Amino acid sequence: DRRGADAAAGAGTNVLATVGLTLGKVALLVAAMLFVGVRAVPWLLAQVARTGSRELFILAVLAVALGVAFGSAVLFGVSLALGAFLAGLVVGESDLSHQAAEDALPLRDAFAVLFFVSVGMLFDPAILLTSPGRVLAVVLMIVVGKSLAAFLLVVALGRPARTGLIVAAGLAQIGEFSFILAELGRTLGLLPDEGHSLILAGALLSITLNPLLFRAIDPLEARLRRLPRAAAILSRGTAGAEPAELPHGAGHHAPRDHAVLCGYGRVGRLIGEALKRHGVPCLVVEEDRTRVQEARSRGIAVLHGDAADGTLLAHMGLAEARLLVVAIPDPLATRHIVEEARRQNPGLAVVARTHSEEEWAYLSDGRVSEAVLGERELALAMARLSLHYVGADGADGQVVPQAVHGPR
C-alpha cells in the first residue's frame, strides 16, 4: 500500500511538473510572438519592401511563416499547424500584411489543392457502404446540429435572423482544422481508424452540400415568413440593426445624392481621391481597419465592415445614391452588392471591377453601367502609349485598341 501511495504521489508530481513545464513553454511562446510580431517582423518586411522586389518580398514572407511555424514546433513543442497559425498572426501585425496576403494567394491556392488531394487519398469510400447510418449521423451532426447552434447564437445576440441563416449555412461544414485534429487523434491512439474515416466522410459530404445550403437560404426564409411565429423571429433585430461603425457625423442616415465606393484598397483609394477632388460626396465601405482610418484621415465618410453584409447594405443609402463603384476583388461579393443595389435603386449608375472575361461578360449583360476588366484596360493604355511612341497615335492608331477592347 505504501509503495502504491508513493507511486501515486510520484505520478502526481510528474503530472504537475509536466503541466508546469507546458505552461512555461506557452508563456515563453506568447512572449516571443509578441516581440517578433510587434517589432521584428514588421521591421524586416518593411526593409525587404523597400528593395522594390516582389519576388524577394514573397520569399521573405515565406521564410518568416515557415521559420515561425518550424521554430514554434521545435523550441516549444507545439504542432506545426498551431505554429503556422501563429506565423499568420505574426505576419498580420505588419502594415504590409495585405500585400503579403495578396502576393501569397497563388501559393495558398496551390497548397490548398495539395491539402485536399492528400485528404482525399486518406478517405476510404468503403465506409459509405459499411456504416451508412453512422456516416449519416455525423453529417446530420455537422450540417444540422452545428448550423442550428450557430443560428440560435446569432439570433440570441440580437442580430437579424437572415444574418443567422447565412452564418448557419457558412458553418454547416468542417474543414482543415477538423482534418488536422482527426489525424492527430489517430496518431496519438485516441481515435480509431473507423472514427477517422467517419470524420473524413462527414467533412467531405458537408463541404459538398454547403453550396446547396446557401442556395436554400432565400426559399427557406420565404417559407418561414409564412408562419406567424417564425416570421416574428425573422423580423426580430432587423429594424434596430446598426453597422459596427457609421460615418462620423452621419447619425443614423446615409447622405443623399452621393457616390458609394465599396473597397478602399489600391484601386478604391484612387477613385475616392478623384471623387473628392471633383466635389462628389462619397461614402466608402471598407472592412480593413487600417484603410478605414486612412480614409477618415482624408476626410472621407466610411462604413466599417463587409460591403456584402445585409446590414451595411441597408445603411449605404443606395436608394438615394447617384453612383455605386464596386472596387473589391471578390466576384461573388460583387454580384451580391450589384443585385442588392439594383433591387433598391434600378436606375443607379454602377461601375464594377472584374478580374476575368467571364465575370466581365456577366456584369456587362445589363447588370452594371460599366464593367472594368483591369488587364484589358492595362492593355489598352499600354497599346496607346506604344502607338504614340511609334508615331501611330492618329486616326489609324485607334484600330488596335478598339480591336483589343472588343464590342461594348
Considering only 41-55, 82-96, 318-332, which range has the smallest mean pLDDT? 82-96
One-letter amino acid for residue 132 of the chain: P
Q: Can you tell me the mean pLDDT for 340-358?
A: 90
pLDDT of residue 229: 66
> What pLDDT, in 10s, does the model give residues 16-31?
777 787 778 878 887 8
Q: Can you tell me the mean pLDDT for 89-104?
A: 71
| Terminal alpha carbon distance of the chain | 91
* CA atoms of 321 and 213, how far apart (whole Å): 33
* CA atoms of 294 and 273, how far apart (whole Å): 12
Is residue 39 predicted with pLDDT exceeding 70? yes
Per-residue pLDDT band for 62 (boundaries 50, 70, 90) equals confident
- Asked if residue 316 lies in contact with residue 293, where contact means CB atoms within 8 angstroms, the answer is no
- Classify 259-368 by CATH class: alpha beta
Tell me the whole-structure pTM to 2 decimals. 0.48
Instruction: Look up residue 236 and give its three cell numbers.
Output: 426580430
- Asked if residue 315 lies in contact with residue 254, where contact means CB atoms within 8 angstroms, the answer is yes
For residue 224, the surrounding DSSP H or E stretch is helix 217-225
Is residue 58 predicted with pLDDT exceeding 50? yes
Cα dist. 62→229, 242, 375 in Å? 53, 39, 27
Per-residue pLDDT band for 119 (boundaries 50, 70, 90) equals confident
Maximum mean pLDDT: which of 202-211, 221-230, 261-270, 299-308:
261-270
Q: Could you tell me the residue ranges of all domains in the chain?
A: 2-103, 122-235, 259-368
> What pLDDT, in 10s, does the model give residues 226-267?
776 666 665 555 444 444 444 443 444 446 789 999 999 989
pLDDT of residue 404: 45
Per-residue pLDDT band for 10 (boundaries 50, 70, 90) equals low
> What pLDDT, in 10s, does the model give residues 129-188?
888 899 999 999 999 999 899 888 988 887 777 778 888 888 888 877 787 788 778 887
Which of 136, 120, 123, 306 shows the shortest CA–CA distance to 206? 136
Considering only 65-74, 294-303, 357-366, which range has the smallest mean pLDDT? 65-74
